[in-house]
Amino acid sequence: MKRIHLLSGLIITLFIFMHLSNHAFSIFGAEKHIEIMNLLRSFYRNVLIETILLGSVLVQIISGLNLFKAKKETAVLIFEKLLIWSGLYLAIFFAIHVSAVLVGRVFLKLDTNFYFGVAGLNSFPYFLFFIPYYSLAIISFFGHVAGIHYKKMNNHILGLSVINQSKTILVFGVCLTMVIMYGLTNHFKGVNIPKAYQVLIGK
């Protein structure tokens, strides 16, 4: 199970790296975000890659929940706890987020681009939920990576250096989260949501 979880996790990590890099470009505006997204879609928007990604997400959710049940009682150190609890949040987030994107594409016939993602982030009262929801997802991802780094490296290198490296990964994730939220909310000024996407906020 651990090997399957690791393999599917590596596949998803590659996509998440592209996805978060894309979101970081939102600080330059919606047009730049969509431009980069269209460039990246030329790689992953095909039947083969999307099938692999969706399969990996499903494997991550199932195996992750099983690993959480098996490890939650034995995790003692802070990065061990961070590893399992961040994994739980990511499993829940993947299930909700991927389902929402599929509903948007298949049933609502929307292009799940910048505006699909930011509709809730820029509308009251929805942003009270979506800002922490998305922020915790990004931080949980880097928290999970930090936990994995601590677990793997601690088997070979003992000392504060490993802890500091894991802390650095987590701090980087927090900083990137702030940059992304800054961009996705148009520098905190808010984004004008096109009419086609206002169905997402009940209009």
Three-state SS string over 44-112 comes to HCCHHHHHHHHHHHHHHHHHHHHHHHHHCCCCCCHHHHHHHHHHHHHHHHHHHHHHHHHHHHHCCCCCC
- Specify the DSSP class assigned to residue 192: P
Q: Give the pLDDT of residue 3.
A: 85
Q: Nearest 5 degrees, angle CA 193-CA 126-CA 194?
A: 10
Residue with tokens 């996509």: 15
Residue 202 CA, distance from chain mean position? 25
Residue 182, judged by CB atoms within 10 A of its CB (0-12, 13-18, 19+), counts as middle
Q: What phi, psi does 93 have (nearest 5°)?
A: -65, -45
Closest among 178, 165, 113 to 139, alpha carbons compared? 178
Q: Give the pLDDT of residue 156.
A: 56
Q: Give the pLDDT of residue 116.
A: 97
Tokens of 133: 């929801």
In residues, how long is the chain? 203
3-class DSSP state of 194: coil
| Cα–Cα distance measured from residue 201 to residue 122, given in angstroms and rounded to the nearest whole number | 10
| Cα–Cα distance measured from residue 131 to residue 120, given in angstroms and rounded to the nearest whole number | 8
Q: Give the pLDDT of residue 76.
A: 86
Q: Give the pLDDT of residue 199.
A: 96
Q: Give the pLDDT of residue 159.
A: 55
Closest among 176, 197, 190 to 23, alpha carbons compared? 176
Per-10-residue mean pLDDT, the chain, length 203 = 88 97 97 97 94 96 93 89 96 96 96 97 96 98 95 66 91 98 96 96 91
Q: Give the pLDDT of residue 2.
A: 79
